[in-house]
Structure 1
C-alpha cells in the first residue's frame, strides 16, 4: 500500500493548477474528482466527462494512499482555519503599531508556509464562513488578506484570551465586518484635526513662552486629545452623565486646557507664580492639579467631568478615581452602573511596574467595588524615564497585566488618528455592552524626554534620532486630509491662527498685575461642610433617645423565620437583647452596632470595607450572618424596621493600598455618610502608606479637598509578634499638622459610640484614625451602661474617677489598652495614691485641653507617660515635642516605655509577658 505525504500531494496539486498536463493521468483524475466533489468546474478536455472512482476512503485506480479527495480538502480547510485563528491570536504581533518604525517583530505562525500552504493553495476556493463578512472572498488568499487588514495594520487586538465565547464572537464580528476601520464623515475628520491642532499648538505656545519650564509635554502623543474628545462624545450617546478622569503628569496641562476647558490664563499664571504669599506652605505643582467642568457634546448634551488631583506617585490615583465613580453612582441610585464612568490614563512603564495596577484591575468585577467598566488608556512612550522596555518589564507588552481580566486590549498606532478613532469607538461600545474594563494601548513617543529639562539623548540616542526626524501627528494627518481633499491649506492655517490668537489673549490677561486665577471651591454635595481648625474644642452632643436606641439594638438580634444562624451566636444574641433592655452593659461590638444603626436610622449611608470585616478579624462583629443549612446571608443592619438608608458591609480582597484608595475616593463624594476602611491588623496600613501620605493626610493642604474617611486600625500589644501589635501611631502623629487628621484611641464602648456619631453629625470633615482594640473586645471591664449612650458625647481626655487629686502622688498618663493593665495592677497593689488619666484623642489636642485635665493635681506631682510601644515609637516622641514645655512648667514629666527598638515588639509571647511585667512594675515603683 503506497502512502504519500501531504507536502508531496500539495506540490502535485500546485503543478496541476498551473498545468494539468504536467501530472500523471491518475493524479489528474484524482484532483478533478476533488474539484467536482466540491462544486468546482473542470476545464473541458481535462477529463470532465471521465468516470472517476468513488472516494469512500480509497484513492483512484492505480493509487494507494491515506487520504481521499474530500479528506484532502478537509485537511486544507483545517489548516487554513488554524491560520485564521492564529491571525486572531497573534496578528497584533506584526501590526504596524510603532509610529517610529523601530520595533518590527516577526511572527512565523502567520506564514502560510508553516501550515504547508503554497502559493497555489492561496488561489483555491475556501469556505470562509468563520470569517465575518468574508462572503465576497473567493480564495484562501483573499480571506487571509482580509484578516491582515483587520488585525495587522495600525490596530493590534488581543482578545482570544477571553474565555467567554459570546464576547470573543462579538469582538470578531465588530472588527472583521469593518476590517477594524471606521468610516469617518468629513465633519468628524475635521474635528479630529482640530483637536490635534489644539493639542500641538498649546504645547508649542507654552514651550515658546516659558522656556525651560517643566510642562511634561504631550508632544508625540497628541492623539490623546481627539481620543478623549471622541470618548466623551460616545459616552454621552451611551447616556453617561458624569466621567471621573485620572492621569499622571504627562499631558495633564494639555488635558486641563483642551478637555477640562480650564482657562489658559489660569494655567499660564502658575508658570510665573507672582503671588507666593498665597501658597506659603501649601498648594501643589501645576501638573498635579485637578479640575471639574461640564463638557458640551456635539448633540448639545452635557457630561460633567472631574479630573482627580494626583501626586507624582502615578498609578495610586487609580482606585481613588474608582471610589469616586462608585460614590457618584450610588448618589444617583445608579445600580446598573451606567450613568457614571471612569477613564484612567496610565504610562506604559508605570502600568507594567506598579503593583497598584493589579489591585485596581482586581477590583473591577467585585460586587463591592465594580463601577460598570473603566476605559484604560496607556500612553505608551516606549520608554520609562531612561529605562528601556526590556529593563522595565518581563512581558511583551506594557499592558499584559490586563490579561488577568476577561477583557480586550487594543494596541493602536498613535500617528494614525483614524485608527485611534476606531479603537476608542469599539472600546466604548464594548464597555457599554459588557460592563467591563477595556484597555487601549496608545503607541507613541515623548518628543522632549521625561520633562523639558531632561536630555533623553544621553540614554536613548537611537530612539531620539528617529523622533527628531518625525513630523507632528497633526502635520501627518493634515497631509492625509489634503490628499483626500477633505481640507484645504487655508482652512488649516485658519485653525492655527484662531488657536494661537486665543492663547495670546489668555497669556496677556494672565500678566495683568491685579489678576488672580479662579480657584474652584467645594460646592454641590460639600456646600454644608467645612475644614480648617477643629471647632468648639471637638465637642458635639451625640446621645440618642434610649427608647429608640433600645429598639434598634433589639432589632439587630431578630432573624428571619427559619434562618439557621450558627449555634455559637445564640448566646451573644441573647446577651445583645439584654443590653437593649438595660440589663447588661454594652460591649464594644454592641456599641459599634448601635452607632451604625442610629446613623442609618438618621439617614446617613454606611459603607464599611476591609479584609474579613463582615465577621470581624476577631469574630466580634458578625454583621453578616450565614445560614448553616442554605448558605444564604442576612444583614441585620440592612433590615432595620422603617429604615431604608443604604448600607454596605464588604469583605475586601487581600489588598490595602487599592482598597484604602477606593474608600478614600468614595468619601470624597459622600460627605454625609460614614465611610470606613478597616485593616485586618493595624500594622498592615503601612502597605498603603502612599495613600495616607499623598492623599488622606495632605489633600486639604495641597488641593483644598476634604474627606471624612474613617480608618479602623486594630492596635495593642498582646504578644502576637511585631506585625500584629502596632498601628504605628507615631507615623500619624508625625504627619499631623494644621488639624489635617484626627487620631483617636477610645478605651470604652460608649466613647467609641460617640466618636463615630461625632464624625458624621458634625459638619467639620477630617479623616479619622481610630486605634481599635483586640483583646479588649471581650475584656470584662470594657463595657458601658445603656444610659451613657443617651446623653453627652466623645471626650478627648477621660479623667481619673476613683482617686482624689489631693491624694495623688503620681499621675499615670496613657492611652488605649495599657490603661486596663495599669488599672488591674493598681487594684492588686491597692495603690490609692496613683491616678490614671486617659488621652482618648491624641490629635488635635491643645496645650490648654491637656493641662486642664491635669489642673487639679498639685504642682510638682510626678507625671509619667506610660505606653506599650518602644521609646522611639508610640505617642511619646510626639507628646514630648508638642507638650513637654507646657507640662514641664508644673510637673516632673517622665516616660515609661519599652526600650527603643527597630521592630515594634518581640516575637516571643513569653518575652512579651516579661517586658509587660517590667513596664507595670516600673509604673508603681517607689510608691
Structure 2
C-alpha cells in the first residue's frame, strides 16, 4: 500500500464502524482495510511515529481518526486555501477543511490528540495542530503533491515541506535575501527605464511579475550547485527582454540600441525578427563560482510552440555533450497561465516527457500567472481549477506561490530544482502575479478588466513590497536597501559603458563551432549541381551484408524471413528497392562516424511495413537494431516510434537538429496528410527560422504522398503548402522516383557546406513497385543526386514532353510503353525547389518543336502546378490534372480509377 488516502477520505464515523467490524471478524472487511488496520507499511509514513496505531488503540477513536483525516485533508487540499493571489481574494474552491467535515467541534480545539504525532506534534492540542497545518499548507505557498503515486517522491516532498523552518519565513539566509533584492532591483528598474524612455513601444513588460527574475536566478544557482552545466530556456514574450538583460546578461547597450533603431543587423542572412522574439546564448558565473552555459531559444508569437523545440535541443545536447547524463542539462519552460492551459502543445510536451525517445531528465515549468490571457479572464480561459492541470499527466508536483512573496517564490524554485535533479521528473511552479499594463504597452486593460486594474493601479510592485517586508522584519534597514539600490545603479552604469563591447565573452561549444564552420549565405551557384554522394563498392557490400544478416541466436518472424528472402533475390539481380536504399544511406552516414536520429509514428517498421529498421525476435520478443555494430567506431542509429503527435514531435526533432549540425535528423509523418497537425512548427520554425533568427537546420521531413485511391486523408501531403513557403533558398523540396536518388538526397544533407531543411514527398505504392528499383552501381563513388531525370529519346521524333514528379511517372511510363509511344518524352523533376532552372531550360531548347505539359495527380489548385506555372511563366506549358477541388482526393475507388485513367489519356494524347 502506498498511502492511506482512501482511509483519510472516508468519514471518521465510517472508519470507526469498519474498525469495529474488523475487531469482530477481520474477514468481514475488505483486504485493503485489513491491511490498514493491521498497521502494515505504517512505519514508512511521515515521521514513523505510530500516530495511526495510537489512534486505533485510543478510547476516542472517532475523534482521533478525525484529526488524522483533517491532517491528510490539508496535505491534499490545503493549497486551495493558500494565500497565493497578491491582488484579490481567492475564489472559494470548497476544500472541505472545516472541523465539521471531520466530526470535530470547536470544543475539541483545546483537547490533546495523539494523532498530532502524524506531523511531529504528539500530544499537541487540536488548535496547535490546525495552526501548524495552516502555516505549512495555506500560506503564500500552496503545494499539490498528494496525487503523486510514487511513495519516495511524495514522502520526500512531505518531509521537505513539513520540516522547513516556519519561524524564519522559508529559512533563507540574509545573503540570499540580499541577492533576491538585487534581482528585484534589476528587474524593476530595467522595466521602469524602458517604460519612461520608450513610451508606447511594445516590450511585453514583466511588471507585476518581476519576481520571475529572482526565481530563475535561484533555479540556475541551485542546479549549478548540483551538476547542471547548461540551462536551456524557452519562453514567449512577457518578460523576455528582462530575462535577456538580468538572467542572460545581454548588454543593456545592445537592447537599448534595438529600441533606438540604431542596431543595423546583417540582413544578408535573413530578414530578422522583433526584439522580443530573439534568442541569445551566454555564460554566467553563479555565486558558487561555477560557470553555466545559458541559452534562450528564439520563438515565434505562437505561444507554447517553442516547448518541444527546447526539449529536442536539450536532448541533443545531452546526447552529444553530456553522455546522456540529464542532470547536467536543465530545460526550463516559462509559460503564461492562459497559454499553458489553452495550447494543446503543452499537453503534448508533458506527455512525451517520460518516453524513451524524448526524455530530457525532467523540465522545470515556470508559469507567470497573470490571471488573464490577452483580455480574457481565467474563468473563460480554462475549465480546470488551476492553469497547471497538465502537470497531473506525469504526476508532477505543483508549487502555487504568491508572486509578491519573493522568499516563498525562491524557496519553491530551489525545492523544485532539487526535486528535478533528484527524481528527473517534471515540476511546475505557478507564480500568481499580475500584469501591470495591457497585453502590450499600447493596450488599455481597463476596457475589459476595470475592477482588476483598480486593484493593480494601487498595488506596490514586488520590489517595494519586499523592501517593506525586509525593513519591517529588520532583515535589512532602510539604509541598506537604499545602498543596494545605489549599487545596482552603479552596476547599470557599468553595463551601459559596454557600448564598445556588443557581446559579452562567450566560449563556443563543440556543436556550435560546427555551425560556425558552415556556410551561412547561399546563392544559385550552390544549387547548380549536387555534390558527389556515392560511396565505395566495398562499403556498399559491407552495409548490405550487415543488413541481410542477423545474429545466430535471433529468431526471425516468418513474415520477416520471407521479406529477407525477397530482398536477397533483389540483391542477386544487383538491384535495391526503396527500403534498402534508405537503410544503406543511414548505414553509410553511420560509417562516417555521424549519428542518425529518426522518429515518428511507427517508424521502426514503417507505416507501410517497408523499413523494418528494427527486427523483433519471434520467441524472446527482444528487438534487434539492424544498423548497429556495422563497425566499432560508427555513429549511433537512434530510431523511436513516437507518441501519436505531429506538432510536438516535429518540434522536438527540429530542436534536436538545431544542436546537431553533423547528424542526420528525420521526422516521418505516418501519412503525409497528417503533417498538417504540425503546420505550426513548419510555418513558424522550419521555413522561416533561418531568415528570422539566423538558425540553420538540416531536418528531413518524410511525407508519404501519392494517389492510390485511399481517400482524401491518405493521398496528399499538400505539396503546394510547402512550395508556397519556398524563397531565398530556405528549403529543399523533392518528389523522388528512384531509390538511388533517395539515397543521394539523404547523404547530400550532410555533404553540403550548409544546412537546409529537406521535405520529401515519399512514396507508398512505389515501395514495392517492380520498376522502382536502382542498380547497385548507382550508389557508388562519383554518383550524385540528379535534380532532373529524362527518358532517352531522339529529338526528331518527340511531339510531346511530359514534365512530372513523383509516383505519377510510373503510371505515365506504363501507359507510354503499353501504347508504344516513342514520340513522348517523360521528364521527372526530382527536386522542385530550389527549381532546377538551367536543366529545365535546356529541355525547352532541345525540344523546341514539342508540346510541353505538366502532369500531376493532384487537383489543379493543389500540387506543384501554380509553382511550376510561376517558374515557367515565359513558356507555353499546359496542365493535365484533376479538376480544382475543395477536397484533396475522392473517397471512392472507382471514381479515383476513372480520374487517374483520364489524366493518363490526356497526357499521352
* TM-score (normalizing by structure 1): 0.89
State the Cα distance separating 1:114 from its structure 2 match: 2.0
Q: For each residue in 1:155-205, what CA deviation from the matched residue of structure 2 results, as whole angstroms up to 9, or x when unmatched?
A: 111111111222211111110111675311111110000100000000000
CA–CA distance in structure 2, aligned partners of residues 363 and 874 of structure 1: 33
Matched, 1:737 2:721: no
Matched, 1:911 2:900: no
User: Are the counterparts in 1 of residues 363 and 426 from structure 2 also a CA contact under 8 Å?
Assistant: yes
Hey, what does 1:202 align to over in structure 2? Answer: 190
State the Cα distance separating 1:112 from its structure 2 match: 1.1
Hey, what does 2:25 align to over in structure 1? Answer: none
Matched, 1:185 2:173: yes
CA–CA distance in structure 1, aligned partners of residues 163 and 263 of structure 2: 58
User: Are the counterparts in 2 of residues 614 and 651 from structure 1 also a CA contact under 8 Å?
Assistant: yes
Query: Residues 86-125 of structure 1 correspond to what in structure 2 (within 5 A)?
Result: 86-105=73-92, 107=94, 109-125=96-112
State the Cα distance separating 1:684 from its structure 2 match: 0.9
Q: Per the alignment, do residues 109 and 785 of structure 1 end up closer, same or farther by CA in structure 2, a change over 3 Å counting?
A: same
CA–CA distance in structure 1, aligned partners of residues 263 and 763 of structure 2: 48
Hey, what does 1:773 align to over in structure 2? Answer: 763
CA–CA distance in structure 2, aligned partners of residues 727 and 718 of structure 1: 13
Query: Residues 54-69 of structure 1 correspond to what in structure 2 (within 5 A)?
Result: none
State the Cα distance separating 1:639 from its structure 2 match: 2.9
Secondary structure at the residue paired with 2:153?
Answer: helix
CA–CA distance in structure 2, aligned partners of residues 652 and 517 of structure 1: 40
Q: Per the alignment, do residues 278 and 550 of structure 1 end up closer, same or farther by CA in structure 2, a change over 3 Å counting?
A: closer
Hey, what does 2:397 align to over in structure 1? Answer: 408
User: Are the counterparts in 1 of residues 67 and 115 from structure 2 also a CA contact under 8 Å?
Assistant: no
Hey, what does 1:924 align to over in structure 2? Answer: 908
CA–CA distance in structure 1, aligned partners of residues 306 and 378 of structure 2: 23
Hey, what does 1:576 align to over in structure 2? Answer: 567
Of 698, 702, 707, the match for 1:712: 702
Q: Per the alignment, do residues 812 and 590 of structure 1 end up closer, same or farther by CA in structure 2, a change over 3 Å counting?
A: same
CA–CA distance in structure 2, aligned partners of residues 300 and 509 of structure 1: 23
CA–CA distance in structure 1, aligned partners of residues 533 and 843 of structure 2: 22
Hey, what does 2:353 align to over in structure 1? Answer: 364
Query: Residues 378-393 of structure 1 correspond to what in structure 2 (within 5 A)?
Result: 378-393=367-382
CA–CA distance in structure 2, aligned partners of residues 69 and 704 of structure 1: 68
Q: For each residue in 1:767-788, what CA deviation from the matched residue of structure 2 results, as whole angstroms up to 9, or x when unmatched?
A: 0001100000000000011111
Hey, what does 1:40 align to over in structure 2? Answer: none
Matched, 1:170 2:170: no
Q: Per the alignment, do residues 775 and 382 of structure 1 end up closer, same or farther by CA in structure 2, a change over 3 Å counting?
A: same
Unaligned runs of 5+ in 1: 11-67
Q: For each residue in 1:217-239, what CA deviation from the matched residue of structure 2 results, as whole angstroms up to 9, or x when unmatched?
A: 10100100010001000010111
State the Cα distance separating 1:294 from its structure 2 match: 0.5
Of 538, 545, 568, the match for 2:536: 545
State the Cα distance separating 1:850 from its structure 2 match: 2.1
User: Are the counterparts in 1 of residues 646 and 678 from structure 2 also a CA contact under 8 Å?
Assistant: yes
Secondary structure at the residue paired with 1:791?
Answer: coil
Q: Per the alignment, do residues 134 and 70 of structure 1 end up closer, same or farther by CA in structure 2, a change over 3 Å counting?
A: closer
User: Are the counterparts in 1 of residues 76 and 144 from structure 2 also a CA contact under 8 Å?
Assistant: yes
Matched, 1:900 2:884: yes
CA–CA distance in structure 1, aligned partners of residues 505 and 756 of structure 2: 21
Secondary structure at the residue paired with 1:305?
Answer: strand
Tell me whether 77-86 or 791-800 shows the greater mean CA deviation. Answer: 791-800
Query: Residues 607-622 of structure 1 correspond to what in structure 2 (within 5 A)?
Result: 607-622=597-612
Of 540, 560, 566, the match for 2:557: 566
Secondary structure at the residue paired with 1:286?
Answer: coil
State the Cα distance separating 1:433 from its structure 2 match: 1.4
Hey, what does 1:818 align to over in structure 2? Answer: 808
CA–CA distance in structure 2, aligned partners of residues 624 and 586 of structure 1: 19
Unaligned runs of 5+ in 2: 1-10, 17-54
Secondary structure at the residue paired with 2:232?
Answer: strand
Of 232, 238, 243, the match for 2:226: 238
Q: For each residue in 1:619-662, what CA deviation from the matched residue of structure 2 results, as whole angstroms up to 9, or x when unmatched?
A: 00111111122211111112324344211110000000000000
Across the aligned residues of Structure 1 and Structure 2, the Cα RMSD in angstroms comes to: 2.3
CA–CA distance in structure 1, aligned partners of residues 405 and 481 of structure 2: 18
Hey, what does 1:157 align to over in structure 2? Answer: 143
State the Cα distance separating 1:276 from its structure 2 match: 6.3
Hey, what does 1:31 align to over in structure 2? Answer: none
CA–CA distance in structure 2, aligned partners of residues 559 and 509 of structure 1: 62
Hey, what does 2:338 align to over in structure 1? Answer: 349
Query: Residues 382-461 of structure 1 correspond to what in structure 2 (within 5 A)?
Result: 382-461=371-450
Matched, 1:313 2:299: no
Hey, what does 1:728 align to over in structure 2? Answer: 718
Q: Per the alignment, do residues 784 and 204 of structure 1 end up closer, same or farther by CA in structure 2, a change over 3 Å counting?
A: same
CA–CA distance in structure 2, aligned partners of residues 785 and 130 of structure 1: 79
State the Cα distance separating 1:333 from its structure 2 match: 4.4
CA–CA distance in structure 2, aligned partners of residues 277 and 388 of structure 1: 39
CA–CA distance in structure 2, aligned partners of residues 572 and 260 of structure 1: 55
CA–CA distance in structure 1, aligned partners of residues 56 and 539 of structure 2: 87
Q: Per the alignment, do residues 277 and 613 of structure 1 end up closer, same or farther by CA in structure 2, a change over 3 Å counting?
A: closer
CA–CA distance in structure 2, aligned partners of residues 333 and 199 of structure 1: 33
User: Are the counterparts in 1 of residues 809 and 828 from structure 2 also a CA contact under 8 Å?
Assistant: yes
State the Cα distance separating 1:564 from its structure 2 match: 1.5
User: Are the counterparts in 2 of residues 359 and 655 from structure 1 also a CA contact under 8 Å?
Assistant: yes
State the Cα distance separating 1:504 from its structure 2 match: 5.8
Q: Per the alignment, do residues 69 and 301 of structure 1 end up closer, same or farther by CA in structure 2, a change over 3 Å counting?
A: closer
Hey, what does 1:249 align to over in structure 2? Answer: 237
Q: Per the alignment, do residues 793 and 699 of structure 1 end up closer, same or farther by CA in structure 2, a change over 3 Å counting?
A: farther
CA–CA distance in structure 1, aligned partners of residues 99 and 138 of structure 2: 15
Matched, 1:485 2:471: no
Matched, 1:288 2:277: yes
State the Cα distance separating 1:523 from its structure 2 match: 4.1
Secondary structure at the residue paired with 1:265?
Answer: helix
Q: For each residue in 1:666-695, what CA deviation from the matched residue of structure 2 results, as whole angstroms up to 9, or x when unmatched?
A: 000000001000000011111111100110
CA–CA distance in structure 2, aligned partners of residues 377 and 637 of structure 1: 40
Matched, 1:591 2:584: no
State the Cα distance separating 1:893 from its structure 2 match: 1.1
Of 128, 131, 136, the match for 1:145: 131
CA–CA distance in structure 2, aligned partners of residues 855 and 409 of structure 1: 69
Of 601, 616, 640, the match for 1:626: 616
User: Are the counterparts in 2 of residues 291 and 307 from structure 1 also a CA contact under 8 Å?
Assistant: yes
Q: Per the alignment, do residues 187 and 536 of structure 1 end up closer, same or farther by CA in structure 2, a change over 3 Å counting?
A: same
User: Are the counterparts in 2 of residues 818 and 868 from structure 1 also a CA contact under 8 Å?
Assistant: yes
Query: Residues 648-687 of structure 1 correspond to what in structure 2 (within 5 A)?
Result: 648-687=638-677
CA–CA distance in structure 1, aligned partners of residues 687 and 878 of structure 2: 30
User: Are the counterparts in 2 of residues 449 and 456 from structure 1 also a CA contact under 8 Å?
Assistant: yes
CA–CA distance in structure 2, aligned partners of residues 498 and 322 of structure 1: 38
User: Are the counterparts in 2 of residues 591 and 749 from structure 1 also a CA contact under 8 Å?
Assistant: yes
CA–CA distance in structure 2, aligned partners of residues 328 and 335 of structure 1: 8
Of 810, 823, 841, the match for 2:831: 841
Q: Per the alignment, do residues 362 and 70 of structure 1 end up closer, same or farther by CA in structure 2, a change over 3 Å counting?
A: closer
Matched, 1:600 2:590: yes
User: Are the counterparts in 2 of residues 721 and 907 from structure 1 also a CA contact under 8 Å?
Assistant: yes
State the Cα distance separating 1:595 from its structure 2 match: 0.4
Q: Per the alignment, do residues 353 and 148 of structure 1 end up closer, same or farther by CA in structure 2, a change over 3 Å counting?
A: same
Q: Per the alignment, do residues 813 and 78 of structure 1 end up closer, same or farther by CA in structure 2, a change over 3 Å counting?
A: same
Hey, what does 1:27 align to over in structure 2? Answer: none
State the Cα distance separating 1:505 from its structure 2 match: 6.8
User: Are the counterparts in 2 of residues 797 and 837 from structure 1 also a CA contact under 8 Å?
Assistant: no
Hey, what does 1:272 align to over in structure 2? Answer: 260
User: Are the counterparts in 2 of residues 746 and 816 from structure 1 also a CA contact under 8 Å?
Assistant: yes
The size of the alignment, in residue pairs, is: 851
State the Cα distance separating 1:509 from its structure 2 match: 7.5
CA–CA distance in structure 1, aligned partners of residues 275 and 532 of structure 2: 42
User: Are the counterparts in 2 of residues 295 and 302 from structure 1 also a CA contact under 8 Å?
Assistant: yes
Hey, what does 1:747 align to over in structure 2? Answer: 737
* Largest Rg, 1 or 2: 1
State the Cα distance separating 1:277 from its structure 2 match: 8.1
Matched, 1:469 2:458: yes
